Chains A and B, each alone.
Chain A
Amino acid sequence: MEQTYAIQMKNITKRFGKVVANDHVSLDIKRGEILSLLGENGSGKTTLMNMLAGIYFPDEGEILVNGQSVTIASPKDAFDCGIGMIHQHFKLVDVFTAAENIVLGLDGQQRLDLKAASAKIKEICEKYGFVIDPSKKVYNMSVSEKQTVEIVKVLYRGADILILDEPTAVLTPQETDRLFDVMRNMKADGKAMVIITHKLNEVMEVSDRVAVLRKGQYIGDVATSDTNPQKLTDMMVGHAVTLNIDRPLVENRHLRLEVKDLTVLTPDGVKALDGVSFEAFGGEILGVAGISGSGQKELLESIAGLRSAQPGSHVIYHPPSPDEPIAGTHAPVDRKGEELLGKTVRQIHNIGVSMAFVPEDRLGMGLVGSMGMADNMMLKTYRSGKGPLLNRKPPRELAEKVKAELDVLTPSINTPVRRLSGGNVQKVLVGREIAQEPSVLMTAYAVRGLDINTSYTIYNLLTAEKLKGVAVIYVGEDLDVLLELCDRILVLCGGQVSGVVDARTTTKEEVGMLMTRFRKEAAEA
């Protein structure tokens, strides 16, 4: 009985400062089984697995490998326990060959014998059906080949418990199929495997059992054969919670942004956005839902002028009419609509479009971490005023105002903002963006990592902007919030719009299905 468990994790807790990433999670991993670890972004999947791989050290709880209690304090300890993890971001030396990467870091009492290593690598490949050339340099490899090297690397070290962190995120469907074949071969060989993913169809296809995490807590596990995507979605997102966010309806909504056939490529040439079209109105909050990496980031950044789009794409800006309260400071742009694509951030600003953007990466894009609140307030406005010198008075006043109005907890307005807690950092950022009196306000994961009170502060601020006639675009991950806060919800799936729904009448299930496109597939079947 004891033998069937490769790993037992008991009451594992991991905190990062005040954030509890894993809250007394208990998880069993069996031999000869593929376990899917399912959960939304930030639900603690990767953190939990990193503790098995020796990247993090648990604050509380016990880990048993083959029934024995162990301490895993480093990746080397993990290997000694037979645990190998394939990370989402590969950890390979580009200028080395596959074989060199695979033997790298092994204890070498004997001489480095690459020939013997290559032979052993070949043997592993034949056994499980991998295809790699041990003498190929990593920089010449495709993403899928690199992943194969990573997997062979852990097998070479004798791992019999493999953890794959979102392995299919970077693969084509054909490559994914090949990976799954290999995984089945390894399963047949008695290895235990964990695959972290949030793609439900893959869960159904490859795994034997599914364990679900939500907000750091262990929700439960089910045999894959006993469940379906619908049930899994329910487990993943939880039951609808009533949040009581005030959602007034604005009668006069005006077209503000018209996005037409927006196609954006990633640096690798993959379509991050594929023919996205929608309209955003002043006086409404348009929610954007989707599994992370469905193109949300690219969408907002292209509208903001930070990313170039493919020919044929359009983002047309319609200015608010002069009698609207937010029209005050805006220079008269073309009333028929102004094309924003192809313009830089400066140019968009200079033609009088006041666009506020709260990016996902608060300290890496929205703010300057090493500067205080005051200096951050002038990030977009420091050029104003004549002469080569900065005028620090207005930003200081604004900082004091934001600090007082939003209750920002900071020792002083000159304390570097990276020292503030996540919630306060977000208040600084949102406060600045709203202070510029925008006509378009875009936010990405505005409440991620914030406590409930701060989240409500942010919701109220967004709603207040909506009432002023601002077009608010809210990219979110919590479906409950999207359903209660927004007027309409745009659902993205794989860079395409899979639906636009009325947030007042739709259900969580409908949005969840659109996110994974099950409705469409079901309709086709």
Chain B
Amino acid sequence: MTQVKQHKDPLLRIAKRDAIGRPKAYAIRLIGVLLSLLVSGAFIFAVTKLNPIQVYNAIFDGAFGTERRSWVTIRDAMMLLCIGVGLAPAFKMKFWNIGAEGQILIGGIVTAGLMRAFGSTLPTPVLLLLMAVMSLLAGCVWGVIPATFKAVWNTNETLFTLMMNYVAIQLTSYFVALWENPIGSNTVGVINQRTRAGWFPELLGQSYTLNVILVMALAIGMFLYLKYSKQGYEISVVGDSENTARYAGINVKKVTIRTMAISGAICGMAGFIEVAGVSHTISTSTAGGRGFTAIIVAWLAQFNTFVMILISFLLVFLQKGATQIASQFNLNDYASNIITGIILFFILGSEFFINYRVIVRGGKEGSAK
């Protein structure tokens, strides 16, 4: 008979770990962060011959170097956190809401529209409340549409929410053209620049205090909702197994729609905070990809909103630092993106080693055959 082709044992085999202790899991994550700093240090040195310590210093400087920079970092971290908090219930239910961008924009459009329309007639506190409620509702509608289709006809929510983003972007373009100011600039300009009507007021001498208060309240509220409410329990059950949910008598359709209503509403609220509390204008880049970045925030934190605070800060910190080193050392913007990428790669990679172990051929276990 013919010669049969020979094969060796596989060099590396991957096996799922049983349980792993919490300290050990955090140790693995810490090793991940340290390794990422080492590797990006080596990368910086190899490419630029700069002292990595100096570069790290500049990163920190970019994020927290001055009081203003610190506040900008806090402001941006709060935005990211707000969106992450909005995404948490949807993703916990394993509903892949890729549509935060659209939900933010819709909330932003409504806010900007109201701000323009009632800036001279309503007092700011009333206007703020009106904008908050309406943006919330708008985001809610934007979330409920794909959820209803998913619940009733089992459409794919990833594609659906993604396409809803493009609809929202087109709508934004339309309103930007409609509200153009000054004519020919192709932007809306800063709304109510003189009167500041509908802007977040300064509290405790800072422009962004209200942002922090609102977002932290949402984060705490969401934490309690997911952990201690009956609805939060239903979300966990549906996310783990729809069959178990049906077995427990949970109405999966209802929970899907309700949860996306909440998720969309909070993302719409993020649009309100961005327009009324940060940029005071609206453009197609108002969401600026943060609807996607926030997915990383929500997942990395395992939907624990307090951990999300840390992760939002880490991501914004890296981003600000990257911009700083780009200008300070004349590095290309991409170089700093590479560093961010390396760090994220190691953080995400450490999750693999928490869940799996690798068996090497000829090692203790590998030769057990």
- Across the two chains, which residue of chain B brings its CB closest to A362? B244
Known: A59-B369, A65-B4, A73-B7. A389 touches B228 (CB 8 A): yes
Residues of B within 8 A of A363 (CB): 241
Known: A65-B4, A68-B4, A70-B7. A306 touches B247 (CB 8 A): yes
The smallest C-beta distance from A39 to any residue of chain B, in angstroms, reads: 25
Residues of A within 8 A of B241 (CB): 363-365, 368-369
Cross-chain contact B243 with A361 (CB below 8 angstroms): yes
Interface residues of A in 28-75 (CB under 8 A from B): 57-60, 65-68, 70-74
Known: A71-B7, A73-B9. A383 touches B230 (CB 8 A): yes
Question: Is A108 part of the contact surface with B, judged by Cβ < 8 Å?
Answer: no
**Does more than half of chain A's interface fall in helix, strand or loop, or is it mixed?**
loop
Question: Is A344 part of the contact surface with B, judged by Cβ < 8 Å?
Answer: yes
The smallest C-beta distance from A470 to any residue of chain B, in angstroms, reads: 19
A361 to B2, CA, bound (A): 46
Cross-chain contact A366 with B5 (CB below 8 angstroms): no
Question: Is A390 part of the contact surface with B, judged by Cβ < 8 Å?
Answer: yes
Which of the residues A359, A368, A380, A390 comes within 8 Å of B228, measured between beta carbons? A390
Instruction: Determine, out of B60-68, B231-239, B317-325, the stretch whose residues face the partner at the interface.
Output: B231-239
Interface residues of A in 430-444 (CB under 8 A from B): none
Cross-chain contact A419 with B369 (CB below 8 angstroms): no
Question: Is A402 part of the contact surface with B, judged by Cβ < 8 Å?
Answer: no
Residues of B within 8 A of A375 (CB): 233, 236
A196 to B229, CA, bound (A): 49
Cross-chain contact B249 with A368 (CB below 8 angstroms): no
A182 to B6, CA, bound (A): 31
Known: A65-B4, A66-B4, A70-B6. A367 touches B246 (CB 8 A): no
The smallest C-beta distance from B209 to any residue of chain A, in angstroms, reads: 30
Question: Is B203 part of the contact surface with A, judged by Cβ < 8 Å?
Answer: no
A29 to B60, CA, bound (A): 68
Question: Is B368 part of the contact surface with A, judged by Cβ < 8 Å?
Answer: yes
A75 to B204, CA, bound (A): 67
Cross-chain contact A349 with B1 (CB below 8 angstroms): no
A87 to B260, CA, bound (A): 38
Interface residues of B in 209-251 (CB under 8 A from A): 228-233, 236-237, 240-241, 243-244, 246-249, 251
Residues of A within 8 A of B233 (CB): 375, 378, 382, 390
Cross-chain contact A368 with B244 (CB below 8 angstroms): yes
A346 to B252, CA, bound (A): 12
A411 to B21, CA, bound (A): 11
Residues of B within 8 A of A346 (CB): 249, 251
A80 to B2, CA, bound (A): 11
Residues of A within 8 A of B4 (CB): 65-66, 68, 70, 80-82
Cross-chain contact B9 with A71 (CB below 8 angstroms): yes
Residues of B within 8 A of A383 (CB): 230
- Across the two chains, which residue of chain B brings its CB closest to A383? B230
A375 to B227, CA, bound (A): 11
Which of the residues A81, A345, A419 comes within 8 Å of B249, measured between beta carbons? A345
Residues of B within 8 A of A185 (CB): none
Question: Is B19 part of the contact surface with A, judged by Cβ < 8 Å?
Answer: yes
Which of the residues B6, B230, B244 comes within 8 Å of A366, measured between beta carbons? B244
- Across the two chains, which residue of chain B brings its CB closest to A363? B241
Cross-chain contact B249 with A370 (CB below 8 angstroms): no
Question: Is A415 part of the contact surface with B, judged by Cβ < 8 Å?
Answer: yes
Which of the residues B6, B232, B240 comes within 8 Å of A368, measured between beta carbons? B240
Question: Is B49 part of the contact surface with A, judged by Cβ < 8 Å?
Answer: no
Question: Is B8 part of the contact surface with A, judged by Cβ < 8 Å?
Answer: yes
Cross-chain contact A370 with B236 (CB below 8 angstroms): yes
Residues of A within 8 A of B1 (CB): 3, 66-67
Residues of B within 8 A of A71 (CB): 6-9
Question: Is B23 part of the contact surface with A, judged by Cβ < 8 Å?
Answer: no
Question: Is A371 part of the contact surface with B, judged by Cβ < 8 Å?
Answer: yes
A66 to B232, CA, bound (A): 59
Considering residues B18, B232, B369, which has the most beta carbons from chain A within 10 angstroms of its beta carbon? B369
Residues of A within 8 A of B230 (CB): 382-383, 388-390
Cross-chain contact B247 with A345 (CB below 8 angstroms): yes
Cross-chain contact A359 with B240 (CB below 8 angstroms): no
A304 to B18, CA, bound (A): 34
Question: Is A77 part of the contact surface with B, judged by Cβ < 8 Å?
Answer: yes
A390 to B10, CA, bound (A): 49
Which of the residues B237, B246, B368 comes within 8 Å of A306, measured between beta carbons? B246
Residues of A within 8 A of B232 (CB): 390
Residues of B within 8 A of A3 (CB): 1
Question: Is A379 part of the contact surface with B, judged by Cβ < 8 Å?
Answer: yes
Cross-chain contact A345 with B9 (CB below 8 angstroms): no
A345 to B252, CA, bound (A): 12
Considering residues A57, A363, A366, A368, which has the most beta carbons from chain B within 10 angstroms of its beta carbon? A368
Cross-chain contact A379 with B246 (CB below 8 angstroms): no
The smallest C-beta distance from A445 to any residue of chain B, in angstroms, reads: 16
- Across the two chains, which residue of chain A brings its CB closest to B20? A419
Known: A389-B230, A390-B228. A370 touches B240 (CB 8 A): yes
Known: A361-B243, A365-B244, A371-B240. A59 touches B368 (CB 8 A): yes
Residues of B within 8 A of A349 (CB): 249
Considering residues A65, A73, A359, which has the most beta carbons from chain B within 10 angstroms of its beta carbon? A73
Write the B1-36 contact mask toward A (1 if CB under 8 angstroms, else 0).
111111111100100001100000000000000000
Interface residues of A in 364-400 (CB under 8 A from B): 364-371, 375, 378-380, 382-383, 388-390
Residues of A within 8 A of B244 (CB): 364-368, 379
Cross-chain contact A379 with B237 (CB below 8 angstroms): yes
Considering residues A72, A364, A411, which has the most beta carbons from chain B within 10 angstroms of its beta carbon? A364
- Across the two chains, which residue of chain B brings its CB closest to A66? B1
Question: Is A218 part of the contact surface with B, judged by Cβ < 8 Å?
Answer: no
The smallest C-beta distance from A8 to any residue of chain B, in angstroms, reads: 12
Cross-chain contact B249 with A388 (CB below 8 angstroms): no
Cross-chain contact B240 with A58 (CB below 8 angstroms): no
Cross-chain contact B248 with A345 (CB below 8 angstroms): yes
Which 5 residue pairs are nearest across A and B when measured between Cβ atoms?
Answer: A345-B249, A80-B5, A346-B249, A66-B1, A365-B243
What are 27 A-B interface contacts by the 8 Å CB criterion?
Answer: A57-B13, A58-B369, A59-B368, A59-B369, A65-B4, A67-B1, A70-B6, A71-B9, A72-B7, A73-B8, A77-B7, A81-B5, A345-B247, A345-B248, A349-B249, A357-B247, A363-B241, A368-B237, A369-B240, A370-B240, A371-B240, A375-B233, A380-B248, A388-B229, A388-B231, A390-B228, A419-B19
Other A-B pairs, 4, CB within 8 Å; known A70-B6, A370-B240, A378-B233: A59-B369, A71-B6, A357-B247, A368-B236
